[in-house]
């Protein structure tokens, strides 16, 4: 399995890790630590050295209750970082944005993938993504970041998320974005309760029917805090458990903050999954 990026192909024959690089002052997990290009570049190089296959740059926080960021401000945050990363990084750069103007500018600066929590539903986003030539990650989110966790309800969360993603993949196809350029993300923690998140993880294999690679982002999420009582900075063990379960469920890209540890967890889980059914005796 391969994902067609803007100028290259990403091998997904085995699952890979996407490193998170927030260049925002208010990220829920590391707000402000990497807001300047120099610190962002150093962290990105470290994640690549630890085994990240992609670096995902975000300039607008999508934590619950996060206020919106203007287009000019988001561009000012992400473009210098993307330009600096593309010049030296050995791995492709992704931009985490829902704004068509940012998609266009980021692609011109060298970004290879557009990671959109709104699944290209904003006005002009579908057209901008198609014209950019980038791969796209379509994520499911119920509502908006400011309100998404206010009593989200579903009749069947797995089937409703599946139907939404299938419809967005069809919309991409109609816009000229072929399946080989698409990744789907069920959106853990985005307009979902703990019960919804657990149901999605339990039935993750259902999303194989979409016919595109699956991305899962659970690193440091509130579902881990709800299950363990751990603060944001102490959720690594829970995140690694979920990363391994995601690989077992078919995820090909695992988005994470702690790259080295997640790479190890993903490799071990992938090896176990590949060994199933061999019948070999030690």
Using only the alpha carbons of the chain, give its radius of gyration.
Answer: 18
Report the distance separating Cα 226 and Cα 229, nearest Å.
Answer: 6
Report the distance separating Cα 154 and Cα 275, nearest Å.
Answer: 36
Length of the chain: 282
Among this protein's residues, is 36 annotated catalytic? no
Among this protein's residues, is 255 annotated catalytic? yes
The active-site residue, picked from 77, 168, 221, 235, is 221
The active-site residue, picked from 192, 220, 235, 255, is 255
51: buried, middle or exposed (CB in 10 Å: 19+, 13-18, 0-12)?
middle
Report the distance separating Cα 21 and Cα 124, nearest Å.
Answer: 25
Residue 9 φ/ψ, nearest 5 degrees: -115, 140
DSSP class of residue 177 equals -
- Helix, strand, coil percentages (3-state) for the chain, rounded to 5, are 45, 15, 40
DSSP class of residue 214 equals B
- Report the sign of the C-alpha dihedral through residues 183, 173, 94, 190, in that order: negative
Catalytic residues: 221, 255
């Amino acid at each position: 399995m391969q994902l067609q990026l803007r100028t290259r192909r990403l091998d997904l024959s085995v699952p890979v890790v996407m490193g998170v690089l927030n260049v925002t002052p208010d990220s829920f997990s590391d707000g402000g630590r990497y807001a300047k290009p120099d610190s962002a570049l150093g962290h990105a190089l470290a994640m690549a050295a630890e085994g990240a296959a992609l670096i995902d740059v975000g300039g607008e926080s999508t934590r619950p209750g996060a206020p919106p960021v203007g287009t000019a401000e988001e561009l000012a945050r992400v473009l210098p970082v993307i330009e600096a990363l593309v010049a030296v990084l050995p791995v492709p750069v992704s931009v985490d944005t829902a704004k068509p103007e940012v998609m266009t500018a980021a692609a011109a600066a060298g970004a290879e993938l557009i990671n959109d929590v709104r699944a290209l539903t904003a006005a002009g986003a579908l057209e901008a993504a198609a014209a950019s030539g980038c791969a796209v990650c379509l994520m499911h989110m119920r509502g908006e970041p400011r309100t998404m966790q206010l009593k989200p309800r579903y009749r069947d969360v797995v089937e409703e998320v599946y139907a939404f993603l299938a419809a967005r993949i069809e919309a991409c196809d109609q816009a000229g974005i072929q399946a080989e350029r698409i990744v789907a993300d069920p959106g853990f923690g985005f307009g979902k309760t703990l019960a919804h998140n657990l149901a999605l993880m339990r039935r993750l294999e259902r999303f194989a029917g979409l016919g595109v690679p699956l991305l899962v982002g659970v690193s440091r999420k509130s579902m881990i805090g709800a299950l363990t009582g751990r603060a944001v900075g102490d959720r690594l063990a829970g995140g690694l458990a979920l990363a391994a379960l995601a690989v077992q469920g078919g995820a090909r890209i695992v988005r994470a903050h702690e790259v080295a540890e997640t790479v190890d967890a993903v490799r071990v889980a992938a090896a176990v999954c590949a060994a199933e059914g061999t019948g070999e005796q030690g």
